[in-house]
Structures are given as structure tokens and as C-alpha cells.
Amino acid sequence: MKVALNLSVLYIAVCNGLPNASNGQKWVVLCAGSRGWGNYADQTIVYRAYLLFKAYGIPESNVIIMHYDHIVINSQNLTPGIVVNDIGGPDVYKG
């Protein structure tokens, strides 16, 4: 359910476009409140959303991210230091 909600919010933002405003007037708050390896997808959605908003021209200084920063170093992560949200996809953690 959490994943569906996150995806729907991201979908609305991307499909409807961001309102026209000069840089510095747009702010984004991204939050992944779940924790643990079983919630890997929730974290990756936030990281991917961050990259999308950067691509739309939102300055890094106007993006607030709240998340547990642990999956990148989790012992179950087969690629330590890297987080992907698609099999074989790019690293979305370093953003």
C-alpha cells in the first residue's frame, strides 16, 4: 500500500508537470518512513523521485529528504554502496 501511495504521488507530479515558477520558489519534501531491508522499495522510490525532481530543475538546496539511511550498507545488499530501483538499473542512492 505504501509503495502504491508513493508511486501515485510521484505519478501526479510527473504527469501534471510542475507549476511554472522560477528556481528557488519550488520546494520538495520526500519521506520514506519505513525501515528495514524488507522495505527496500520504499527507500528506492524516494531516491528515484529525488533524481526526477533534480531533472525538472529543482535546486538541491530546495529538496528535503527524510529517510533511514541504512539499506546502502545493509549486510543483505549484494552491491554495498549502491542502491537500485530496477534490476540492472543505475545507482539511485548517490543522486
Q: Which domain holds residue 68?
A: 2-73
For residues 27 and 15, the model is more confident at 27
Q: How far apart are CA 25 and CA 33, in angstroms?
A: 26
Report, as an integer, the average pLDDT of 43-65. Answer: 92
The distance from CA 8 to its chain's CA centroid, rounded to whole angstroms, is 13
How many domains, in total, are found in the chain? 1
Confidence of residue 69 (pLDDT cuts 50, 70, 90): confident
33 domain residue, yes or no: yes
pLDDT at site 62: 93
Question: Has residue 13 been placed in a domain?
Answer: yes
CB atoms within 10 A of CB 37: 12
The Cα 53–Cα 58 span in angstroms is 6
C-alpha to C-alpha distance for 72 and 22, rounded to whole angstroms? 34
Mean pLDDT value across residues 35-39: 89
C-alpha 83/C-alpha 18 separation (Å) is 26
Does this model's pTM top 0.75? My answer is no
Q: For residue 12, is pLDDT > 60?
A: no
